[in-house]
Structure 1
Amino acid sequence: MSSDVLEKRYRMLLRAYPAGYRRERADELIDTLIGDEPTNRRWPSLREAASLIRGALRVHGGGAAPRPVAVLFWQGIHLGALAALALGVLIGLNDIVEAFQYGGLSDPLTVLRNQGVHEIVLSAALVALVAGRTRTAAVLAVAAAVVPTVISPYLFLNGLPQWWAPVVAAPLIVLGLRRPADVPPAPRANAVLVTAGILALHLIPAGGLRMVDAAPRIVAAVMVLAGVAAFLWVATADQRLLIAVVPTLLLGTLHQLDNAGLTEELLRRPDALPSLVVAVLMAVVAVVSTRLRQRTRA
């Protein structure tokens, strides 16, 4: 009886795997996990549960695909475009709320002209990309950079991250149109989850590290370490995240560079470089490690 309960709980964990993979491998995995010997265990061990979840992440990330490097690259850039647009929409929405809180209600048309039009077009590009309308999303991403700027140069002149979002995402969306036929598109539900995870990474309250009081700084440091550790635990299994997070990190760097003035002033702004360096390193690590695993498997 306990073996039946244990098998049922293993199968619940296996639901993290794609349906096709479960159909082919679920019984084999269950036999390996339970074994032939009778057992009184009713729960998988924590180590087994973590291994199964990481295995599911690897499969979602293309680790079991015939061409894992191609899946990593093409699905990674698609997810990166999604994440960049989603982050731009999130930042833009936050700025609009703040604008209305600090006097925007007295002149809502100005807020709409300066920020609202961009938010609407950018949101439309995001929805189109999630829906799989890649060509429509590409057109809307270009429009999100051009049309609102023609109506009002507010976002462009201030170099705000939400203005950079379609500028970064549009080339990725256009490049995604050349995805090889043998590389499957990222499943919609999985793409939304990956995008949510990247947004969660950007919502970590790192600004608390600059507070004067020790207690808030300690709390912020703990949250930053925990959030980054959780993200890396997932991203080292599903390495598409290491590609997809790059465009979102570039948004902050481009915003900082745009406000740094002359190029030589960048050397006096150490805060403008880490995101770019981390982004490049993560992309290199993801591609190299996936290629090495592919060679080992071959």
Structure 2
Amino acid sequence: MVENRPFLNLLSHLVLIVGVVIVAFPVYVAIIASTRGPNDFMSGIIPLLPGPHTLENYREVLFAGVSTSGAPPIGPMMLNSLVMALTIAIGKIAISLLSAFAIVYFRFPFRQLAFWAIFITLMLPVEVRIVPTFKVVADLHLLDSYAGLSIPLIASATATFLFRQFFLTVPDELAEAARVDGAGPMKFFRDILLPLSRTNIAALFVILFIYGWNQYLWPLMITTKPEYYTIVMAIKRMADVADAIPRWNVVMATVVLAMLPPVLVVVLMQRLFVKGLIESEK
């Protein structure tokens, strides 16, 4: 039985409100800054009301670029980030589904050793193996390409582990029934396992899309041509100017635009995302 305690209800709501304010206030300041002029934030006083330069700032970053920082228009860079994020998310899920399916449902020598070899790579993030990875990508002539941006980040031990744990909860009777009906391994995978994995796939897609969208170090290393810059690189270049004051209004306009695709993905897939994280019965 849940007790009705008004004081505890009020306290819990106050804590939630304070948490929302702490998280949302910097975002609100960024949105306000994107509507202001270049000198409005130089006085040390943060304006809290929108300014008159909204269309001007967003038009500049979308179509003209920022010449003082060498940043081209961010439209193509947002497209580059979108291609990179989608390729990483879809590639990680596809490879992880197949590898987890092979580990759980096929009996082959050193099966557990293969799984633990994949799992141990969790201790080797991109930053640790970035030099040999860069050497391989350079030798394959994948610098300044979408393949170079995405393929080295596709493998995912975390997704493989999660799909393996889920496949282990699927009753063996389903595989036996599919075998009796004459279904081969791939038909069983396509018609039974994939529909059952829908919520897990959605939850991982949201996480992996945001992971790919926010990549900075790897794109910075392998791109030298502006046509392959990503949106996160653009924000960094706009904020770091050598002989001038950063135009924070334009930087914040870029930040707001960079937030939109991840927010849109989370909003559209919120129900499946939450269900995939908390659902225990499949």
Larger RCO (CA under 8 A, 6+ residues apart): 2
Q: Same fold (TM over 0.5)?
A: no
Higher helix share: 1
Q: TM-score, with normalisation over the residues of structure 2?
A: 0.28
Larger Rg: 2
